[in-house]
Amino acid sequence: MTKSIMVQGTMSGAGKSLLVTALCRILREDGFRVTPFKSQNMALNSYITKDGLEMGRAQVVQAQAAGIEPDVRMNPILLKPSSDVGSQLIVNGEVRGHYNARNYFAMKRSLVPSIMEAYASLAAEHDVIVIEGAGNPAEINLRDDDIVNMGLAELVDAPVVLVGDIDRGGVFAQLYGTIALLRDDERARVVGTVINKFRGDVEILRPGLAQIEELTGVPVLGVIPYSHADIDDEDSLSERLSQHGVHRAADIAIVRLPRISNFTDFAPLERHPALGVRYVRGRAELAHPDLVIIPGTKSTMDDLLWLRQSGLEMAIRKLWDAGTPVLGICGGYQMMGERLSDPLGIECGGEMAGMALLPCSTVFCAAKTRSLTRATVAAGPCAGAVVEGYQIHMGQTTRAGGTPFCVVQPGGKQSADNDLGGADGASLDAARPCEEDGTIDGHAMGTYLHGLFDTGEMVDALANWLLERKGIATQDVHTLSHAEYLEQQIDLLAREVRTALNMEAIYEAMEQYER
């Protein structure tokens, strides 16, 4: 018999993903075989599994909390926004096509069999499924075709915990308004509410807790303090952008592209004591950093046009001409080349001149490259560093000069669609163009590899190089791998949640709905 518990929220960013992560770890600690599940995810942060399939990164973190390998069944439907009104649809890890919002809503009920097949398959292998909703379950204009909130809870017969975010204000109105808008049968599924991100003395809150319980007829299962666990949530980039970056010895400016993807690539950089990481959206913010990073994007050509029209492209080129190194990842790497071609209209069609920082060109094609990769940096200041990550892109890039950025280790690539050979990316000296066998200083670097900082080796090598360029003594720092660091943070989060949440009530609810 499989138990389940579903976490829904009063809004996006209420903390659903983190609460599911904590519950996965707590249930694992309590001896259960547990798995996360989110029927439909909308995010530009995605990941490639060992079998070359694509899923949302939030469920990857939750899988680590559960102590299991990421599995595309945990997130059978993934929407990757490509514009304000359209998304790439990925079903069971494979690209199904591009849909505008109207067309997707007209067909999404047809995805229910795929969702239920994935859920049933997980249920056959696990004791407990912790389900994450999306947005708010009381979006009454979407209820008839809902496949991710109360519609899914009904399909799998799951009890629901509703989470509100007190940090944004109005948490009692959030909870009351959401429950009031639910249908009677939906309201009966809500076994409790949770107030998340609380700062202060909980005793001051208690009169409100009693009143909201009376108004809703639903018990408050816990008040979770604002967590200090450093775990990327799907909406965490907005919080980073509200901060001005920490002033440290070396200044790294990451361009905040309109359609930035996989921003979690840079979390390991932020943890190094010598590196100050900030996100910039204009020329004035760019100033004079020690390194510029152009990140991945869902729409390379559109974001390159934005970079050009905003004046950031010219500002970056001036910095590069003066010796500031530039690193591009995935879409950022494509932008740094000499030309982008889209003969099939995969993005916006036609051709576009690139930034001409690297001697390479990209042609967009229908097949998406999806691979896990282990490689060694071959050129530039980080040469010798071992990197592990994944490639996920729809363009093929040809290098006409310089050297590869990294060389794939034997057996270090698992690819679903395309065999990219033994090399990835490009590296070129900014001051002196090099022949194929020339000495590379690495002032311009590009790679398709997401997660290249996750092992920690690239972080330490990059930090020491930037410090040396400034005449500052290097630091003897060993950066933890992202997996090791995340494990510590998940444990911290689980301890915080276990202390604050009525786990006995959670277990009782799961028992009542056991199937």
Q: Coil, helix or strand for 42?
A: strand
**Mode of pairing for the β-strands spanning 291-294 and 250-255:** parallel
**Same topology between domain 3-74+106-231+486-512 and domain 250-471:** yes
Identify which of 293, 334, 237 has the alpha carbon closest to the alpha carbon of residue 462.
293
The listed CATH number (3.40.50.300, 3.30.450.20, 1.10.3210.10, 3.50.50.60) that belongs to domain 3-74+106-231+486-512: 3.40.50.300
Q: How confident is the model at residue 436 (pLDDT cuts 50, 70, 90)?
A: very low
Q: What is the pLDDT of residue 414?
A: 53
Q: What is the pLDDT of residue 439?
A: 40
The enclosing H or E element of 63 equals helix 57-66
Does position 435 have pLDDT exceeding 90, yes or no?
no
pLDDT, average across residues 313-327? 93
pLDDT, average across residues 192-198? 97
Which of 24, 330, 360, 365 is labelled catalytic?
330
Contact in structure between 279 and 254 (CB atoms under 8 Å): yes
Q: pTM for this one?
A: 0.89
Q: What is the pLDDT of residue 137?
A: 95
Contact in structure between 326 and 354 (CB atoms under 8 Å): no
Contact in structure between 273 and 463 (CB atoms under 8 Å): no
Contact in structure between 304 and 335 (CB atoms under 8 Å): yes
Q: What is the pLDDT of residue 437?
A: 42
Contact in structure between 311 and 283 (CB atoms under 8 Å): yes
Q: What is the pLDDT of residue 434?
A: 46
CB-count exposure of residue 402 (10 Å: 0-12, 13-18, 19+):
buried
Total Cβ atoms within 10 A of residue 127? 15
Q: Return the bridge partners of 415, or none.
A: 371
Q: How confident is the model at residue 419 (pLDDT cuts 50, 70, 90)?
A: very low
Per-residue buried b or exposed e for 134-168, using 16+ beta carbons within 10 Å of the residue's own CB: bbbbbeeebbeebbbbbbbbeebebbbbbbbbbee
Q: What is the pLDDT of residues 266-306, one digit of tens each?
A: 999 999 999 999 999 999 999 999 999 999 999 999 999 99
Task: Reply yes or no on whether 450 is catalytic.
Answer: yes
Does position 463 have pLDDT exceeding 90, yes or no?
yes
Q: What is the pLDDT of residue 381?
A: 85
Contact in structure between 16 and 232 (CB atoms under 8 Å): no
Does position 420 have pLDDT exceeding 80, yes or no?
no
Q: What is the pLDDT of residue 401?
A: 86
Is the dihedral angle over the CA atoms 415, 417, 420, 421 positive or is it negative? positive
DSSP state letter for 167: G
Q: What is the pLDDT of residue 475?
A: 82
CA–CA distance, 446 with 327 (Å, rounded to integer): 6
Strands ordered across the beta sheet of 77-81 = 40-42, 77-81, 86-91, 94-100
Higher pLDDT, 408 or 161: 161
CA–CA distance, 324 with 314 (Å, rounded to integer): 13
Highest mean pLDDT among 15-29, 92-106, 397-411, 413-427: 15-29
The CA R_g of the chain, rounded to the nearest whole Å, is 24
Q: What is the pLDDT of residue 123?
A: 97
CA–CA distance, 154 with 410 (Å, rounded to integer): 48
Q: What is the pLDDT of residue 515?
A: 67
Q: What is the pLDDT of residue 409?
A: 79
CATH class of segment(s) 250-471: alpha beta
Task: Reply yes or no on whether 330 is catalytic.
Answer: yes
pLDDT, average across residues 483-499? 96
CA–CA distance, 440 with 402 (Å, rounded to integer): 8
Q: What is the pLDDT of residue 234?
A: 60
Q: How confident is the model at residue 237 (pLDDT cuts 50, 70, 90)?
A: low
Which residues, 6 or more positions from 33, have their beta carbon under 8 angstroms from its beta carbon? Answer: 125, 126, 127, 128
CA atoms within 13 A on the CB side of 249: 17
Q: What is the pLDDT of residue 83?
A: 79
Q: What is the pLDDT of residue 182?
A: 96
Q: Taking all residues of the chain, what is their mean pLDDT, rounded to a whole number?
A: 90
Total Cβ atoms within 10 A of residue 193? 27
| DSSP track, 407-433 | EEEEEEEEESS---TTEE-EEE-SSS-
- For the chain, the domains span 3-74+106-231+486-512, 250-471
Identify which of 411, 34, 472, 467 has the alpha carbon closest to the alpha carbon of residue 291.
467
pLDDT, average across residues 422-444? 62
pLDDT, average across residues 41-62? 93
Which of 126, 272, 393, 450 is labelled catalytic?
450
DSSP state letter for 450: B
